[in-house]
Amino acid sequence: MTTQDEAPAEAPADEHAGLWLTSGELDSWLSVVRLMTRLPWAIDTQLQRDADLSMVEYMTLAMLSEAPEWTLRMSTLAENTSTSLSRLSHLVKRLERRGHVRREADPADGRFTNAILLPAGMAKLESAAPAHVAYVRRLVVDNLSGERLRRLGQDAERILQRIDSPAR
Protein backbone atom coordinates (compact mmCIF):
# COMPACT_ATOMS: atom_id res chain seq x y z
CA MET A 1 0.00 0.00 0.00
CA THR A 2 1.07 3.53 -0.60
CA THR A 3 0.44 6.44 1.65
CA GLN A 4 -0.62 9.85 0.51
CA ASP A 5 2.96 11.03 0.77
CA GLU A 6 4.30 8.35 -1.56
CA ALA A 7 4.17 8.86 -5.29
CA PRO A 8 1.97 6.32 -7.05
CA ALA A 9 3.80 3.85 -9.26
CA GLU A 10 3.73 4.87 -12.91
CA ALA A 11 1.50 2.71 -15.06
CA PRO A 12 3.56 0.90 -17.67
CA ALA A 13 3.52 2.64 -21.03
CA ASP A 14 1.25 0.98 -23.58
CA GLU A 15 3.77 -0.53 -25.98
CA HIS A 16 1.03 -0.71 -28.64
CA ALA A 17 -0.18 2.88 -28.26
CA GLY A 18 0.96 3.85 -31.76
CA LEU A 19 -1.01 0.96 -33.26
CA TRP A 20 -4.47 1.92 -32.02
CA LEU A 21 -6.81 3.64 -34.45
CA THR A 22 -7.94 7.18 -33.86
CA SER A 23 -11.65 7.78 -33.51
CA GLY A 24 -11.89 8.92 -37.14
CA GLU A 25 -9.83 5.96 -38.38
CA LEU A 26 -12.00 3.56 -36.40
CA ASP A 27 -15.21 5.06 -37.78
CA SER A 28 -13.87 4.75 -41.34
CA TRP A 29 -12.60 1.20 -40.77
CA LEU A 30 -15.94 0.07 -39.33
CA SER A 31 -17.71 1.53 -42.38
CA VAL A 32 -15.38 -0.47 -44.63
CA VAL A 33 -16.04 -3.63 -42.60
CA ARG A 34 -19.81 -3.13 -42.90
CA LEU A 35 -19.42 -2.58 -46.65
CA MET A 36 -17.28 -5.72 -47.06
CA THR A 37 -19.93 -7.72 -45.22
CA ARG A 38 -23.16 -6.25 -46.54
CA LEU A 39 -22.37 -5.55 -50.20
CA PRO A 40 -21.53 -9.17 -51.11
CA TRP A 41 -24.58 -10.33 -49.14
CA ALA A 42 -26.84 -7.84 -50.98
CA ILE A 43 -25.46 -8.82 -54.39
CA ASP A 44 -25.67 -12.52 -53.61
CA THR A 45 -29.29 -12.09 -52.46
CA GLN A 46 -30.20 -10.25 -55.67
CA LEU A 47 -28.56 -12.89 -57.89
CA GLN A 48 -30.18 -15.76 -55.96
CA ARG A 49 -33.60 -14.12 -56.19
CA ASP A 50 -33.44 -13.00 -59.82
CA ALA A 51 -31.22 -15.64 -61.45
CA ASP A 52 -30.89 -18.61 -59.08
CA LEU A 53 -27.12 -18.03 -59.03
CA SER A 54 -24.77 -17.20 -56.18
CA MET A 55 -22.40 -14.29 -56.61
CA VAL A 56 -19.41 -16.63 -57.05
CA GLU A 57 -21.34 -18.72 -59.61
CA TYR A 58 -22.14 -15.53 -61.54
CA MET A 59 -18.49 -14.44 -61.32
CA THR A 60 -17.37 -17.86 -62.55
CA LEU A 61 -19.67 -17.70 -65.58
CA ALA A 62 -18.60 -14.09 -66.24
CA MET A 63 -14.87 -14.92 -66.05
CA LEU A 64 -15.34 -17.85 -68.42
CA SER A 65 -17.38 -15.71 -70.83
CA GLU A 66 -14.45 -13.29 -71.16
CA ALA A 67 -11.78 -15.98 -71.61
CA PRO A 68 -10.56 -17.14 -75.02
CA GLU A 69 -12.76 -19.99 -76.24
CA TRP A 70 -14.74 -19.59 -72.97
CA THR A 71 -12.07 -21.73 -71.27
CA LEU A 72 -9.88 -21.26 -68.20
CA ARG A 73 -7.76 -23.54 -66.06
CA MET A 74 -9.48 -24.26 -62.79
CA SER A 75 -6.49 -22.87 -60.87
CA THR A 76 -6.70 -19.57 -62.77
CA LEU A 77 -10.46 -19.42 -62.30
CA ALA A 78 -10.05 -20.02 -58.55
CA GLU A 79 -7.57 -17.17 -58.33
CA ASN A 80 -9.76 -14.85 -60.44
CA THR A 81 -12.83 -15.53 -58.30
CA SER A 82 -10.90 -15.42 -54.99
CA THR A 83 -11.99 -18.92 -54.04
CA SER A 84 -10.06 -21.99 -53.05
CA LEU A 85 -9.58 -24.66 -55.67
CA SER A 86 -11.58 -27.06 -53.51
CA ARG A 87 -14.54 -24.66 -53.20
CA LEU A 88 -14.38 -23.87 -56.92
CA SER A 89 -14.39 -27.59 -57.75
CA HIS A 90 -17.66 -28.06 -55.81
CA LEU A 91 -19.14 -24.95 -57.39
CA VAL A 92 -18.20 -26.04 -60.93
CA LYS A 93 -19.68 -29.46 -60.22
CA ARG A 94 -23.01 -27.73 -59.45
CA LEU A 95 -22.73 -25.67 -62.64
CA GLU A 96 -21.97 -28.86 -64.59
CA ARG A 97 -25.12 -30.54 -63.24
CA ARG A 98 -27.11 -27.55 -64.48
CA GLY A 99 -25.50 -27.80 -67.93
CA HIS A 100 -23.70 -24.45 -67.68
CA VAL A 101 -20.08 -25.63 -67.80
CA ARG A 102 -18.01 -28.73 -68.35
CA ARG A 103 -14.57 -29.76 -67.16
CA GLU A 104 -11.91 -31.53 -69.14
CA ALA A 105 -8.19 -32.14 -68.96
CA ASP A 106 -6.08 -29.30 -70.34
CA PRO A 107 -4.82 -30.53 -73.75
CA ALA A 108 -1.61 -28.50 -73.29
CA ASP A 109 -0.85 -30.12 -69.93
CA GLY A 110 -2.98 -32.99 -68.68
CA ARG A 111 -2.04 -32.27 -65.08
CA PHE A 112 -4.45 -29.32 -65.19
CA THR A 113 -8.22 -29.22 -65.59
CA ASN A 114 -10.03 -26.63 -67.67
CA ALA A 115 -13.49 -25.24 -67.03
CA ILE A 116 -15.40 -24.51 -70.22
CA LEU A 117 -18.50 -22.34 -70.47
CA LEU A 118 -21.28 -24.01 -72.45
CA PRO A 119 -23.91 -22.18 -74.53
CA ALA A 120 -26.52 -22.79 -71.80
CA GLY A 121 -24.17 -21.17 -69.28
CA MET A 122 -23.70 -18.16 -71.55
CA ALA A 123 -27.47 -17.89 -71.95
CA LYS A 124 -27.86 -18.04 -68.14
CA LEU A 125 -25.26 -15.30 -67.72
CA GLU A 126 -26.87 -13.13 -70.40
CA SER A 127 -30.30 -13.50 -68.77
CA ALA A 128 -28.92 -12.67 -65.30
CA ALA A 129 -26.74 -9.73 -66.35
CA PRO A 130 -29.32 -6.95 -66.92
CA ALA A 131 -30.87 -7.14 -63.43
CA HIS A 132 -27.47 -7.68 -61.83
CA VAL A 133 -25.86 -4.71 -63.57
CA ALA A 134 -28.87 -2.53 -62.75
CA TYR A 135 -28.54 -3.49 -59.08
CA VAL A 136 -24.77 -2.85 -59.00
CA ARG A 137 -25.41 0.48 -60.73
CA ARG A 138 -28.08 1.42 -58.16
CA LEU A 139 -26.02 0.40 -55.12
CA VAL A 140 -22.57 1.60 -56.15
CA VAL A 141 -22.07 3.30 -59.52
CA ASP A 142 -24.93 5.80 -59.42
CA ASN A 143 -24.29 6.47 -55.73
CA LEU A 144 -20.86 8.02 -56.44
CA SER A 145 -19.59 10.72 -58.75
CA GLY A 146 -17.39 9.53 -61.58
CA GLU A 147 -14.32 10.86 -59.77
CA ARG A 148 -15.24 9.22 -56.45
CA LEU A 149 -15.93 5.90 -58.20
CA ARG A 150 -12.55 6.12 -59.98
CA ARG A 151 -10.81 6.89 -56.66
CA LEU A 152 -12.64 4.06 -54.90
CA GLY A 153 -11.43 1.67 -57.60
CA GLN A 154 -7.87 2.96 -57.25
CA ASP A 155 -8.01 2.67 -53.46
CA ALA A 156 -9.36 -0.87 -53.73
CA GLU A 157 -6.49 -1.77 -56.09
CA ARG A 158 -3.92 -0.32 -53.65
CA ILE A 159 -5.33 -2.45 -50.83
CA LEU A 160 -5.44 -5.54 -53.06
CA GLN A 161 -1.81 -5.00 -54.05
CA ARG A 162 -0.86 -4.88 -50.37
CA ILE A 163 -2.81 -8.09 -49.73
CA ASP A 164 -1.22 -9.83 -52.71
CA SER A 165 2.35 -8.66 -52.05
CA PRO A 166 4.60 -10.65 -49.77
CA ALA A 167 4.90 -9.38 -46.20
CA ARG A 168 7.74 -6.91 -45.73
Is-contact 100 51, C-beta < 8 A?
no
Q: Is residue 8 part of a domain?
A: no
**119 part of a folded domain:** yes
Using an 8 Å Cβ cutoff, are 29 and 89 in contact? no
pLDDT digits (tens, 9 = 90+) for 53-87: 999 999 999 999 999 999 999 999 999 999 999 99
3-state class percentages of the chain: helix first, strand second, coil last, to nearest 5 = 65, 10, 25
Q: Cα–chain-centroid distance for residue 101?
A: 21
Work out how many domains the chain is built from and give that number. 1
Strands 71-73 and 113-117: antiparallel
Residue 153 placed within a domain: yes
Domain holding 107: CATH number? 1.10.10.10
Query: Which 3 state secondary structure label does DSSP give 102?
Result: strand
Q: Considering the domain boundaries, does residue 25 fall inside one?
A: no
pTM: 0.83
pLDDT band at residue 164, thresholds of 50, 70 and 90? confident
Q: How far apart are CA 35 and CA 92, in angstroms?
A: 27
Domain span holding position 148: 43-159
Question: Considering the domain boundaries, does residue 26 fall inside one?
Answer: no
Asked whether residue 13 is domain-assigned, the answer is no
